[in-house]
Amino acid sequence: MRIFINALSARLGGGQTYLLNLLKHVPQDIDLKVYVLVQPSFNLGDLPSNVTILNEEKLENPWKRVIWEETRLIECLKELKIQLFFSPGGLLPKRLPGNILTVVTFQNMLPFDRLQRSKYPYGYRALRDWLLERGLSSAMRSADFVIFISQFAKRFVHGKLRDMHGENAVVPHGIHPCFRVDKSAPLARPSWAPIGNYFLYVSWIDHYKAQLEIVDGFRLYREQGGQGQLLLVGAEYKPYGDLVRQQIKTFGLEAFVKLIGNVAHEELPAAYQNAQINIFASFTENCPNILLEMMASGRPALVSNWGPMTEFGGEAVEYFDPSRPEDFAKNLRSLVDNSERQCNLGDAGIKQVSNYTWEQASFMTWSVIANVGQSQYRE
pLDDT band at residue 379 using 50, 70 and 90 as cut-offs:
very low
> Is the domain of 290 the same as that of 345?
yes
> For residues 254 and 258, what is the distance between their CA atoms, to the nearest angstrom?
7
Tell me the per-residue pLDDT of 8-27, one tens digit each, with 9 for 90 and over: 776 556 677 888 899 999 99
Amino acid at 183: K
From residue 257, alpha-carbon distances to 137, 175, 225 in Å are 39, 28, 15
> Is the domain of 310 the same as that of 328?
yes
Tell me the per-residue pLDDT of 57-93, one tens digit each, with 9 for 90 and over: 666 676 777 777 777 888 889 999 999 999 999 999 8
> For residues 50 and 30, what is the distance between their CA atoms, to the nearest angstrom?
10
Residues 6+ apart with CB under 8 A from 1: 31, 32, 33, 83, 84, 370, 373, 374, 377
- Domain residues for the domain of 340 are 177-352
> Is the domain of 166 the same as that of 278?
no
> Is the domain of 273 the same as that of 361?
no
- Please spell the DSSP secondary structure of 25-36, one letter per residue: T--SSS--EEEE
Whether 278 contacts 272, CB under 8 Å: yes
Whole-number CA gyration radius for the chain: 22
> Is the domain of 225 the same as that of 130?
no
293 burial (CB, 10 Å; 0-12 / 13-18 / 19+) is: buried
> Is the domain of 156 the same as that of 118?
yes
Strand partners, 319: 303
> Is the domain of 71 the same as that of 166?
yes
> Is the domain of 60 the same as that of 163?
yes
Provide the pLDDT for residue 9.
72
What is the bridge-based pairing of β-strands 198-202 and 229-233?
parallel
Whether 10 contacts 40, CB under 8 Å: no
How many C-beta neighbours within 10 Å does residue 130 have? 12
> Is the domain of 118 the same as that of 66?
yes
pLDDT higher at 250 or 374: 250
> Is the domain of 330 the same as that of 361?
no
CATH label of the domain that carries residue 372: 3.40.50.2000
> Is the domain of 136 the same as that of 236?
no
Provide the pLDDT for residue 10.
64
Tell me the per-residue pLDDT of 108-140, one tens digit each, with 9 for 90 and over: 999 999 999 999 998 988 999 999 999 999 999
H-helix segments, 182-320: 211-223, 238-250, 268-274, 289-295, 309-313
Provide the pLDDT for residue 59.
67
Structural domain total, the chain: 2
> For residues 210 and 164, what is the distance between their CA atoms, to the nearest angstrom?
33
Tell me the per-residue pLDDT of 304-341, one tens digit each, with 9 for 90 and over: 999 999 999 999 999 999 999 999 999 999 999 999 99
Amino acid at 201: Y
pLDDT higher at 74 or 294: 294
Q: Which residues of 176-207 are buried (b: 16+ CB within 10 A; e: fewer)?
A: beebbbeeeeebeebeebeeeebbbbbbbbbb
State mean pLDDT over 291-308. 98
> Is the domain of 187 the same as that of 314?
yes
